[in-house]
A and B are shown apart, each in its own frame.
Chain A
Amino acid sequence: MEEELNKNQKNSRRQFLKKGLIAGAGVAIGSGLIAAYVDATATETGEKVKVLTTDGEIMEVDKGLLKLPRVSREESHHGIPGRKFVMVIDLGKCKNARKCVEACQKGHHLPKSQEFMKVYLLQDSEKTSPYWFPKPCFHCDNPLCVSVCPVGATYKRSDGIVLIDNERCIGCKFCMTGCPYSTRVFAWKHYKEFEDDKEPYSPEAGSPGKEGTVSKCDFCPDLIRVGKIPYCAAACPMGVIYFGDVDEDTVTNGTETFQFSKLISDRAGYRYLETLGTRPCVYYLPPVERQFEVDRGFNNLDPVIQERYKDTPYSKKNKK
């Protein structure tokens, strides 16, 4: 794979690093970006982190200096210039470890009852095989949620990301009925987890949450800005979730990097419910050549989570 990558896209890869996306499993950002995002008031923690500069050199910086940037509400309306983000989820590798869900909840300061990333146990029909289906927001190119919002609180950016401005949202929930993928969640009350976030609100961080408003998976643009991949992609122990850029034609899960178009064509990637015409930016690789039995997904599950799947056709059949 590595060989193929080198052959196919030496140039593209260099560009890829220059633009400061990801290299390696750890944090990797360009030195220019560090200067831009270092918080002058931040205190040094003494803990050093290795980062990769645009020149391909590894350097160490203090962790305390790597505070995530929070752009203003106004700025969050514009996408990151020249980018078009995409996610690829390999269903053959998912075993419902739920690390994506947990990392996302931690990163966005969410209560347990709010999940931006949800893992479903799906089975398309009686005879077909069941599979685990992690579902983030699809960041559709034809997003109905954006069309129906009466106040422009949810918007599509030039980089493909669909965001919500929780300081504009009036909580009418029309977007929630508009979304055919049940992606959006509502803050039915004030959750104490919202208070964990002491930073000022930014739609790019999707945090701190606000009572009476709608929120959802945001593709973590605050992480992207410092060259990281979203929480879910970085946290997955199986490397199920790949994140990248359509224009650069590259996706990575932090350890492996692929040419997006080739990956999709080789592995028969598809978009969920394509017929609805929403044009999602999240692609799935079919659940073939499984690395795990479906049942492995039930291992070590919180009983409350386990309970979720008891009414699925697969669980019912197993019981019999």
Chain B
Amino acid sequence: MDPQQKNPLRDFAPQLERTSIQGYAWIAFLLGVIGLGFYAFMDQVLNGHIVTGMRDNVVWGVYIVNFIFFMGVSYAGALISGTLHLFKTAWRKPVIRMAEFITVISLLIGPCFILLCIGRLDRLPYLILFGRIQSPITWDVIAISTDIFGCFIFLYLAILRDLATLRDYELLQLPKWRKKIYKTLALGYTGTPEQQERLNRATDIMATMVIAIAIIVYSVLAWIFSVTLQPGWHSTIFGPYFVIAAVYSGSAVLIISMWVFRKVYHLEEYITKKHFVSVGVIMLVLAAFFGYFTFSDYLTKWYGSEKNDELLIQLLFKKFYWPFIISNYVGVLLPLIVVGIARFRTIRNITLTAVVVVIALWLNRYIIVVPTLESPYLPIQDARPEWLNYSATWVEWSLTATGVAVFCLLFTLASKFITIVPVSGIEGEGKKEDVLI
């Protein structure tokens, strides 16, 4: 047999070569959502932040929630892919690239949401020009830019072998310019023992770095809240709590993307129940940790009952009852039950649980941000309803949808550029499962 025929790429080439009508429709839909978001954005730029639901008390709303959410998903991707890589987990191969993509893509989207919160986008360069190292926002600027840099390098190192494989696979039916891109990006990697060793070492170093950076960045993000004196935010547990919540949300997003790509690209042979259960177990462990941190945080606030903590907890159990229950009860218990009990442990159940977890964690950030701002030390005394209670406007929701759409679009495009499952290192006649799983 022709060696080119044996190349595992032959299974994956179609997803790079062709896009189905549904695929184009999907991309067109996403572009539509993004277009609406652009319109909303222009509305905000031209008419001011008055078009949002934010006012003088609740100065941060859904934008900050999305910021925390996407950054969380991102760091989670980094932590999961980094850890799986370092521990040389046997089953990691079919899912690790998704985790890496999730990291980089959500890392590009997250900071955009904090920009939407900024009243004077024209003065953005001031963050660098007049940056003050005393401000946690400056810590964030430094940490996030380091993280973006680190995660891009990590992703690049991880796909380098595949870029070389794509370059060398002659049967690939792609336009010349795309092959040229593969050739350039592959940096002349041919897989000599020396190259292999260097690449492995670099990847190991970056995997370690990415884990460390991810923990730092997410802690810094938590400190933006906890350094203030606001009831509910001024908590020492916030750093580790945010890190755990982040990894937790990331594991859920990973499960959802595994399910989607498995269906769309027919990867049933590669991504099996074993993978769902493995990532599901990670999710279960994180759910337990997350529940523990949440309980610990609210127990101390409730038991000691400082006046303002008490007011906050009252608000959480009245006005924010359902978000509170979904995020802190359902979001914690559901994975424990579904993944914990063998009978419920199916691909469909695990995926559905992951969807609930993602929603729960988004709500978790919402009830961290909004209720605190609605219960300041001095009671809000205002006659204007929008000043009293925050409710996001269509502009904010539309830009939120845009964030999700950009995430899906970039993920789709990335999967068109390089195979969603790493193909290098699985050459040969052996059964796929032996090599992969």
For window 133-191 of A, CB contacts with B under 8 Å fall at 135, 144, 147-153, 168-174, 176-178, 180-182, 184-190
Stretch at the interface among B120-128, B160-168, B175-183, B412-420: B120-128
Q: Are B47 and A176 in contact (CB under 8 A)?
A: no
Q: Are A189 and B48 in contact (CB under 8 A)?
A: yes
Q: Is B227 an interface residue (CB 8 A)?
A: yes
Q: Are A308 and B383 in contact (CB under 8 A)?
A: yes
Give chain A residues whose Cβ lies under 8 Å from the Cβ of B136: 148, 174
Q: Are B383 and A170 in contact (CB under 8 A)?
A: no
1/0 per residue, CB under 8 A from A, across B42-72: the answer is 0000011110001111011000000000000
Q: Is A261 an interface residue (CB 8 A)?
A: no
A273's partner among B59, B230, B377 (CB-CB below 8 A) is B377
CB distance from B184 to the nearest CB of A (A): 38
Give chain A residues whose Cβ lies under 8 Å from the Cβ of B225: 177
Q: Is A212 an interface residue (CB 8 A)?
A: yes
- Closest partner residue, chain A, to B137 (CB atom): A150
Give chain A residues whose Cβ lies under 8 Å from the Cβ of B380: 182
Q: Is B32 an interface residue (CB 8 A)?
A: no
- Closest partner residue, chain B, to A124 (CB atom): B307
Given contacts A151-B127, A180-B377, A312-B379, contact A173 B119 (CB under 8 A): yes
Q: Is A4 an interface residue (CB 8 A)?
A: no
Whole-angstrom CA separation of A187 from B47 in the bound complex: 12
Q: Is B86 an interface residue (CB 8 A)?
A: no
- Closest partner residue, chain A, to B126 (CB atom): A151
CB distance from A153 to the nearest CB of B (A): 8
1/0 per residue, CB under 8 A from A, across B350-385: the answer is 000000000000000000000001001111111110
Q: Are B135 and A174 in contact (CB under 8 A)?
A: yes
Q: Are B119 and A213 in contact (CB under 8 A)?
A: yes
Q: Are B117 and A173 in contact (CB under 8 A)?
A: yes
Q: Are B379 and A171 in contact (CB under 8 A)?
A: no
Whole-angstrom CA separation of A174 from B224 in the bound complex: 8
For window 218-252 of A, CB contacts with B under 8 Å fall at none
Q: Are B120 and A213 in contact (CB under 8 A)?
A: yes
A173's partner among B59, B141, B379, B382 (CB-CB below 8 A) is B59
Q: Are A147 and B130 in contact (CB under 8 A)?
A: no
Q: Are A176 and B137 in contact (CB under 8 A)?
A: no
User: Helix, strand, loop or mixed for chain A's interface?
Assistant: loop
Give chain B residues whose Cβ lies under 8 Å from the Cβ of A186: 49, 56, 59, 119
Give chain B residues whose Cβ lies under 8 Å from the Cβ of A1: none
A contact residues, range: 35 or more
Whole-angstrom CA separation of A176 from B126 in the bound complex: 19
Q: Are B132 and A187 in contact (CB under 8 A)?
A: no
Q: Are B117 and A120 in contact (CB under 8 A)?
A: no
- Closest partner residue, chain B, to A309 (CB atom): B381
Whole-angstrom CA separation of A170 from B125 in the bound complex: 9
Q: Are A308 and B382 in contact (CB under 8 A)?
A: yes
What is the interface size of chain B, counting residues whose CB is below 8 A from a CB of the partner? 45
Give chain A residues whose Cβ lies under 8 Å from the Cβ of B227: 148, 178
Whole-angstrom CA separation of A18 from B273 in the bound complex: 86
Given contacts A170-B126, A189-B48, A211-B48, contact A276 B229 (CB under 8 A): yes
Q: Is A307 an interface residue (CB 8 A)?
A: yes
Q: Are B49 and A212 in contact (CB under 8 A)?
A: yes
Give chain A residues whose Cβ lies under 8 Å from the Cβ of B123: 151, 168-171
Give chain A residues whose Cβ lies under 8 Å from the Cβ of B141: 150
CB distance from B68 to the nearest CB of A (A): 14
CB distance from A128 to the nearest CB of B (A): 13
For window 95-145 of A, CB contacts with B under 8 Å fall at 113, 118, 120-122, 135, 144
Whole-angstrom CA separation of A157 from B352 in the bound complex: 56
CB distance from A77 to the nearest CB of B (A): 12
For window 135-162 of B, CB contacts with A under 8 Å fall at 135-138, 141
CB distance from A312 to the nearest CB of B (A): 7
Give chain A residues whose Cβ lies under 8 Å from the Cβ of B381: 118, 120-121, 308-309, 311-312
CB distance from A229 to the nearest CB of B (A): 24
Q: Is B118 an interface residue (CB 8 A)?
A: yes
Q: Are A150 and B131 in contact (CB under 8 A)?
A: yes
Whole-angstrom CA separation of A305 from B229 in the bound complex: 29
Given contacts A170-B126, A171-B118, A182-B377, contact A189 B135 (CB under 8 A): no
- Closest partner residue, chain A, to B380 (CB atom): A182
Q: Is B228 an interface residue (CB 8 A)?
A: yes
Q: Is B19 an interface residue (CB 8 A)?
A: no
Q: Are A212 and B48 in contact (CB under 8 A)?
A: yes
For window 8-23 of B, CB contacts with A under 8 Å fall at none
Give chain B residues whose Cβ lies under 8 Å from the Cβ of A171: 49, 118-120, 123
Give chain A residues whose Cβ lies under 8 Å from the Cβ of B130: 151-153, 168
Given contacts A170-B126, A307-B383, contact A189 B120 (CB under 8 A): no
Q: Is A40 an interface residue (CB 8 A)?
A: no
Give chain A residues whose Cβ lies under 8 Å from the Cβ of B114: 172
Whole-angstrom CA separation of A250 from B22 in the bound complex: 78
Q: Is A36 an interface residue (CB 8 A)?
A: no
Whole-angstrom CA separation of A149 from B126 in the bound complex: 12
CB distance from A228 to the nearest CB of B (A): 28
Q: Are A149 and B120 in contact (CB under 8 A)?
A: no
Q: Is B192 an interface residue (CB 8 A)?
A: no
Q: Are A182 and B378 in contact (CB under 8 A)?
A: yes
Task: Across the A-B interface, give the 5 residue pairs with the lowest CB-CB distance, nearest first.
Answer: A171-B119, A212-B119, A189-B48, A307-B383, A150-B137
Beyond A151-B127, A180-B377, list 14 extra A-B contacts (CB 8 Å).
Answer: A121-B381, A144-B228, A152-B130, A169-B123, A170-B127, A178-B227, A186-B49, A186-B56, A186-B119, A212-B49, A213-B119, A276-B229, A304-B383, A309-B381
Q: Can you report 22 residue pairs joining A to B where beta carbons are below 8 Å apart?
A: A122-B378, A144-B228, A147-B134, A151-B132, A170-B123, A170-B127, A171-B118, A171-B123, A173-B117, A174-B137, A174-B224, A177-B230, A180-B228, A180-B377, A182-B56, A182-B378, A182-B380, A185-B56, A188-B48, A188-B49, A304-B383, A311-B381
